[in-house]
Amino acid sequence: MDDAEIAEIYAVRELLECEALRRSVPALSSGKLKEAEQALPVSIFSLTDRGDIFAGAALTMILVAAMLVLLLGLERITKRATGAWRTLRQAGWRSTM
């Protein structure tokens, strides 16, 4: 494989990943999203409310770390998608959307 073929494979992969995200996110139910939003913050509140400050602080740090990983992952996906579109446009590809 030469460099152009490898670049093409990665460009197609990036497009497929973005399309998979675009199709899967609307399929998430609001109940599942609310459940995910409330699980850890409610646990943190209940622990600190009962006086277990250290366990609440530990869960807070887990929440912060999880959010950081999520945001970094989303940033990486966005940069990949932008780079893939730029590569395809330079190659003369036109979107049918």
Give the orientation angle of helix 3-24 with respect to helix 53-90, to 10 degrees.
Answer: 130
**What is d(CA 60, CA 35) in angstroms, rounded to the nearest whole number?**
17
pLDDT for the residue numbered 32:
65
Helical spans, DSSP H, in the chain: 3-24, 30-49, 53-90
pLDDT for the residue numbered 96:
58
pTM over 0.75: no
Q: Tens-of-pLDDT digits for all 97 residues of the chain? A: 778 888 888 778 777 777 776 777 777 677 766 665 666 777 777 777 788 888 888 888 888 888 888 888 888 887 777 776 677 777 776 655 5
pLDDT for the residue numbered 36:
59
**What is d(CA 70, CA 41) in angstroms, rounded to the nearest whole number?**
16
